[in-house]
Structure 1
Amino acid sequence: MAAIGIDYGTSNSEVVYFDGQEHHFIKLDPAMHEANKIRSSVFIYYEHELPRPPVPVIEAKVAQIKRAITEQIDKAKESYYEAQDPREQQVYSDKISELRSQFHNLPELQRRAIELLLKDMTVQDLSLQQLVETGKFAFGEEGFKRYLKTPEKGRLIYSPKNFLGASLVAGQQQAFVGMIAKQLAFFRESAEQQLQQTVDTAVIGRPVKFHGTRGQEGNSQAIDIMQQAAHKAGFKHVEFLEEPIAAAYKIEQTLDKATNTLVVDIGGGTTDICCIRLSPDKQGDLDRQQDVLSVTGTRLGGMECDKNLIVKSIAPTMGLGQLMFNGLPVPPTYYSDMCAVDNIPKLDHFFSDDYGLEIAQTRCMVKDPSLILRLQTVQEEKLSARLVNSSRLAKELLSSKDAITLPLHYIEADYDVNINLDDLNRSMLSWLRRVKSLVTECLQKSAEQPEMLFITGGMSLSPIVKKELQEVMLPDLPLLEGDAFNSVCEGLAIQAHKLT
């Protein structure tokens, strides 16, 4: 039996097995350059027809058809009594008999109801729970490519992890259990195939605070969903470890003496920070909570930067800031709603027909309607996830370039947006202030001061982030070099090995 570490991230996920000496990275997505990384997004789709509507919906449609038949019977009766000719009366009598036969033919009524429902139904009409229970799943680049090619065939959940601590309406919680169970089962089966042994134990990374606004209640809900999903995926034993602490366990292997370390983990959806006592003498200890000096975290990750960059640098080319003929600005909420890929209710509202009509009306009220047309295209063709992904690529390119031209030709032919490093800096200002405030909070809560700094997570590769934390905020702390992308999962695998 083997135990694995699972870094279930906002943007990407990873699985690692540690045999006590060496880390083994499980290949999850051969379509990616780094096959051990896989997009955390899920595309749930239908190749052919949509599923049969739920029984209550069919029953409601049958009742509607019956009401229409009853009205026809009443009209036929009126015509029968008004008719003077016996032959004409017979025609209406036959019509009444035929309609009564239709009224009582339940199988035929149900068939007609289903046919009418499917005729007008789209994927967006299905509840998330029904989608999870009846749709096909595509993960990683395969899923994202399917979404880009046929967005109308399914639904892309850009980051399932971001919803775990949120307020979920009836059925959504179990929908996420089912969805994440599919992902975790895929991870477990991939590990078993490559390790050639049964995998029944996992240590799964968790943020200090899951994405959401419900405090401890949201955190408890998120852990409960993950626990249920892991057991449904076939894991018999599951434990959770806060991600910055997992990263600390990995870098502890590089130390030759006891060292208090500040770990700053900035991922796609959350920023988590801990100050922890590390020592090569404690590497075999299973419970290390007594060594954690302080820990803080919040829903503040790289995705916020992606959305901020859209609002600051792309949205103005889509009409943000324009004045309407009545002197009022184009509603800025259009653009924040457009970016809400981590908020299902808000994104559903943005993609609704009513919202599209409102944008179309606004387009008729501005001097340059061509800019609003770009926004309208994103709304009508449901391109929000693709736009956020483009912004993420722009952010990554600006880590090594001073300026780029971002092609958005899937919105409009020859539509390019020029973005430079100053634009990125401005879009990140408020975000960075909040990250630094979180670091300050962690340092103030710690009874002992750190001697070393370790920055991990995808955003740690940003020169802007590194400069602000290392040179501006913490210039006196030596930087521990380490793997920004793999340290969390490697630490989770170390903890998993201890369980065996």
Structure 2
Amino acid sequence: MSQACGVDFGTSNSTVGWHRPGQSALLALEEDKVTLPSVVFFNVEDDEVTYGRAALTNYLAGYEGRLMRSMKSLLGTSLMDGQTEVQGKALPFRQLLAQFIGELKQRAERSAGTSFTRAVLGRPVHFIDDDSTADRLAQDTLEQIARAAGFTEVQFQYEPIAAAFDYESRISKEELVLIADIGGGTSDFSLVRLSPERASKFDRKDDILGNGGVHIGGTDFDKYLSLTHVMPLLGLGGRLGSQIDVPSSYYFNLATWHTINLVYTQKVWRELQEVYRDINNADLRLRFERLLNLVEERDGHWLAIKSEEAKILLSDEQNISLSLNRLRSKQPTQPCQLILDQDGLQASIAHLTTNIGNTVAEVLRTANIRPDQVDTVFFTGGSSGVRGLRQQIGSIVPAATKVEGDLFGSIGAGLGLDATRRFR
């Protein structure tokens, strides 16, 4: 058995792959589950740090502390060299990411019963769109963080290529496959020739016909669903007595996972109080009071979780009614409900799915591949279940067979296979 592993550090969920003949390709990371949500909660009351589902449970139970999610989105941005405050102390974001990846490594080692010092890490086709310098910086930063977490040898593989290796392990004949990896932070695509015979080759560069990606993913769907349908319940779009719009920056920060904590500062609280005093419309006052209460109770991550829940429910349902019971104003009112249908979701994210569709078309064009030449579209990534997005991609290659992989595990499994090949 290989002593090297594959690490899929995801925006929303993370996995670790380890190639063992006849056994699962993924290691259990949280009890019997092979995924670990990419979440850290610093519990101030009990002075402890929890990860994954346990972190979300503690946060939603109302413990005082700081929740951090979508940490991967910091890579390649100016925020990466910043810090946040935890229990009155400054915590650099680099240290935060190293702490999470270190925890991921330790859990994988306990599950495997061996230590891992070598790893292939997954990376999106583009960490940062249209900026090769920032993109390279993001990979270099992730390598430094992985080494700080205890890996002494680190290599990288594109995430959709890793998913291709996982799919290839299950096919019986050659196929030209479009890998559609829709993750939490990015959408990545690869055109790859796959077959059982090609799988034994170490050098696969001639089999990769095209790559492309865009920095749009599930957290962006959550964000625009929230801005379109949730944030108006808190006053977004309202007009103040001075006939100017309610400032939108607070709502954009609350709708974006890695900026939620920015609304909890004393400066922002004073600004919100000033805005409230300039409201003379009774309905807007009620809605803005919900925002004030949400910020005071630090329930921003709860609201983001509810937006994500709405998106997930609409992957299967045509209509949903979602209770938003923590949205409260000074006056007793009926519990807030989010009523949403499939058309409402698609309208809020149409500009994103169109952009993703254009990226797919560009991958085909630059690879000089006609849509009718694609045999299979292989969907992976937790956000590939969004119905309108699948329809958008499917319409570009209508004759291709649509196959759903392990939405959360294909990349980690493929990285584990790749690690065995590279470090054998």
Aligned pair in 2 of structure 1 residues 451, 401: CA closer, same or farther (>3 Å)? closer
Partner of 1:147: 59
- The answer as to 2:392 corresponding to 1:394 is no
User: 202, 217, 230: which one pairs with 2:119?
Assistant: 202
Aligned pair in 2 of structure 1 residues 289, 366: CA closer, same or farther (>3 Å)? farther
CA offsets, 1:417-469, max 9 Å, x none?
Answer: 22222211211211111110111111111134433221211122222222222
Using the size of structure 1 for normalisation, the TM-score is 0.75
Aligned pair in 2 of structure 1 residues 454, 358: CA closer, same or farther (>3 Å)? same
Partner of 1:425: 346
5 Å matches for 1:113-132? Answer: none
Aligned pair in 2 of structure 1 residues 290, 275: CA closer, same or farther (>3 Å)? same
Partner of 1:374: 290
User: 410, 414, 435: which one pairs with 2:356?
Assistant: 435
Partner of 1:42: 40
Contact map agreement 1:177 1:228 (CA 8 A) in 2 = no
Once the two structures are TM-superposed, the CA of residue 208 in structure 1 deviates from its matched residue by 0.9
User: 257, 261, 264: which one pairs with 1:341?
Assistant: 257
Once the two structures are TM-superposed, the CA of residue 46 in structure 1 deviates from its matched residue by 3.7
Aligned pair in 2 of structure 1 residues 286, 137: CA closer, same or farther (>3 Å)? farther
Aligned pair in 2 of structure 1 residues 248, 169: CA closer, same or farther (>3 Å)? closer
SS at match of 2:122: strand
Once the two structures are TM-superposed, the CA of residue 144 in structure 1 deviates from its matched residue by 1.9
CA offsets, 1:163-217, max 9 Å, x none?
Answer: 011113755499333222222222222222222223222111111111x468222
- The answer as to 2:126 corresponding to 1:227 is no
Aligned pair in 2 of structure 1 residues 171, 22: CA closer, same or farther (>3 Å)? same
Counterpart of 2:241, as a letter, is F
Partner of 1:162: 73
User: 146, 159, 168: which one pairs with 1:252?
Assistant: 168
Contact map agreement 1:20 1:494 (CA 8 A) in 2 = no
| Distance in 1 separating the partners of 2:10 and 2:223 | 18
Counterpart of 2:183, as a letter, is G
Once the two structures are TM-superposed, the CA of residue 402 in structure 1 deviates from its matched residue by 2.1
Structure with the larger strand share: 2
| Distance in 2 separating the partners of 1:378 and 1:215 | 36
Contact map agreement 1:406 1:417 (CA 8 A) in 2 = yes
| Distance in 1 separating the partners of 2:399 and 2:161 | 22
Contact map agreement 2:186 2:213 (CA 8 A) in 1 = yes
Structure with the larger helix share: 1
| Distance in 1 separating the partners of 2:408 and 2:256 | 25
Aligned pair in 2 of structure 1 residues 245, 325: CA closer, same or farther (>3 Å)? same
Contact map agreement 1:264 1:272 (CA 8 A) in 2 = yes
Among all aligned residue pairs of Structure 1 and Structure 2, give the percentage whose two residues are the same amino acid: 30
Partner of 1:126: none
User: 190, 193, 206: which one pairs with 2:110?
Assistant: 193
Counterpart of 1:351, as a letter, is Y
Partner of 2:413: 490
Aligned pair in 2 of structure 1 residues 249, 169: CA closer, same or farther (>3 Å)? closer
Partner of 1:4: 5
Contact map agreement 1:263 1:274 (CA 8 A) in 2 = yes
Partner of 1:456: 380
5 Å matches for 1:397-412? Answer: 397-412=313-328
Aligned pair in 2 of structure 1 residues 20, 284: CA closer, same or farther (>3 Å)? farther
Aligned pair in 2 of structure 1 residues 453, 170: CA closer, same or farther (>3 Å)? closer
SS at match of 1:342: helix
Decide which structure has the larger Cα Rg and report it: 1
For this pair of structures, how many residues does the alignment match?
405
Counterpart of 1:148, as a letter, is L
Aligned pair in 2 of structure 1 residues 261, 418: CA closer, same or farther (>3 Å)? same
| Distance in 2 separating the partners of 1:169 and 1:17 | 29
Once the two structures are TM-superposed, the CA of residue 341 in structure 1 deviates from its matched residue by 2.2
CA offsets, 1:365-399, max 9 Å, x none?
Answer: 24120111111222222222221111001111112
Bigger mean CA offset, 417-426 vs 307-316: 417-426
Bigger mean CA offset, 353-362 vs 392-401: 353-362
SS at match of 1:373: helix
| Distance in 2 separating the partners of 1:147 and 1:240 | 33
| Distance in 1 separating the partners of 2:185 and 2:80 | 22
Partner of 1:80: none
Contact map agreement 1:5 1:493 (CA 8 A) in 2 = yes
Aligned pair in 2 of structure 1 residues 228, 396: CA closer, same or farther (>3 Å)? same
Contact map agreement 1:460 1:484 (CA 8 A) in 2 = yes
- The answer as to 2:396 corresponding to 1:473 is yes
Once the two structures are TM-superposed, the CA of residue 409 in structure 1 deviates from its matched residue by 1.5
Aligned pair in 2 of structure 1 residues 433, 23: CA closer, same or farther (>3 Å)? same
Aligned pair in 2 of structure 1 residues 372, 6: CA closer, same or farther (>3 Å)? same
Once the two structures are TM-superposed, the CA of residue 142 in structure 1 deviates from its matched residue by 1.5
Any gaps of 5 or more consecutive residues in structure 1?
A: 49-134
5 Å matches for 1:53-132? Answer: none
Contact map agreement 2:181 2:380 (CA 8 A) in 1 = yes
Partner of 2:155: 239
Contact map agreement 2:120 2:156 (CA 8 A) in 1 = yes
CA offsets, 1:325-382, max 9 Å, x none?
Answer: 2332323333212223224xxx454222232233223223241201111112222222
Partner of 1:215: 131
CA offsets, 1:77-129, max 9 Å, x none?
Answer: xxxxxxxxxxxxxxxxxxxxxxxxxxxxxxxxxxxxxxxxxxxxxxxxxxxxx
